[in-house]
Structure 1
Amino acid sequence: MVAVAAVSLGTATAGAQSATAAPATQSTQSATAKASFSGLVKQGSRGTVVKQIQRKVGVTADGVFGPKTKAAVKRWQKRKGLAADGVVGPRTGTKMGLKSSSSRSTSTRSSRTSTRSVSSSSVLSTASSLVGTPYRSGGTTPSGFDCSGFTSYVYARHGKTLPRTAEQQRRSTSRVSSPRAGDLVFFGAPAWHVGIYAGNGKMYDAGNSRVDTTKRAIWTSAVTYGRV
């Protein structure tokens, strides 16, 4: 009788442990599911997830994935033994413990829609308001612009970060064969000059020491266009 009781007690105890273990396993699986990240966040993305990334890599959390954020992500990936490409995909995002990818997708779509509307109206309005600003080599403010300083300033007013030089801007944009107002106009490859396409064969640009910021005709067909 004692032996039987012991066996029964052991069986009951094992059953209790099994019953207790099951919820713990479910909890662990749930936590793992919550921790996984299936999005793709890269330069040009905007939104809440970008802010999460920026806080993780130690840069200003402004919600705009620009060149500085990309560089910081690369450094973080390298420290963690990941492929240092500056893109936050499933592996990097999960390693960072990002909460979700849904807001990223929505934010990126909103950003693209915003870019289209900005390109056709607000960017040109800002560019037009700066006509007459004097040319200044290395200038990046309304007290004086050079060509890439002008384009960077205009787009920054609309939440878009462009690299500093004309050639860097050429490489960072998507080349298009049918330009629309607001696209960037590049002269040369490597680019030695850049302006903002205004439509009808004209552009806004900060020319040189003899030409202040102005709207003028594009004087050559040897140009390429890039979309921000």
Structure 2
Amino acid sequence: MAKPPVIEPHQLRHALKVAAVTGQSPMRDVALLLVFYGTGLMPNEAAKLVVSDYLKADGAVRVDSTVRAEIAFNGKPRPLVWANEKICSAIDDYLAYRLAAGHGVTTAPAAYRGLDPHGPLFLTGDGGPFAFTKRVTVAGAISYSCESLTEIVRRLHQQAGIEGGNASAARRTFAVRLHRDGRSLKLIQELIGVSSLSAVKNLVEGDPMRLSAIVRGVI
């Protein structure tokens, strides 16, 4: 199976500009794009994040958070770091919009910026939680997928003209960008939660920027 494409910074900037002026929930969509590209989260995980995964009770950002075991794709907790100013600013703008719209508010307005700490961090355009689709394999194994959020991310790429862009591309791009910055495979493995270093190596291999740099210097 072909790897998802690596999305370059100028492509993401364009996608963010388009997302900001289209769709049912522009502030949410901008925040979602930044979260996927800045954390390596998968759609199911993002849909299961709750407000208290991002905020402390006093309303401050929970910088050192966790992808909890119960929401992680592999059932194992891993670090979730809310330290990027662009990501946090976009989420903050979205949460302020939610409060003004009365989406997921709490009866204790002094805590968690007036939002329900146990409610989803990201909501549908109508202010409800994202739905999950149940799947049963031939062997009887049951799984759930958030197809609506997956489709939103695919659409955000499509409307920006990014071929093959989706949540998987954002996840691979997150890993590749870390690798370009000289981060170790071990650190990347910890942040995206894959099972082995060889899986991380496979994810970051074939970086188009690295390949172009190599070819450029041949002659």
Task: Give the TM-score of the pair, scaled to structure 1.
Answer: 0.24
| Larger RCO (alpha carbons 8 Å, 6+ apart) | 2
Report which of the two has the higher share of strand.
1
Q: Which has the larger radius of gyration?
A: 1
Task: Give the TM-score of the pair, scaled to structure 2.
Answer: 0.25
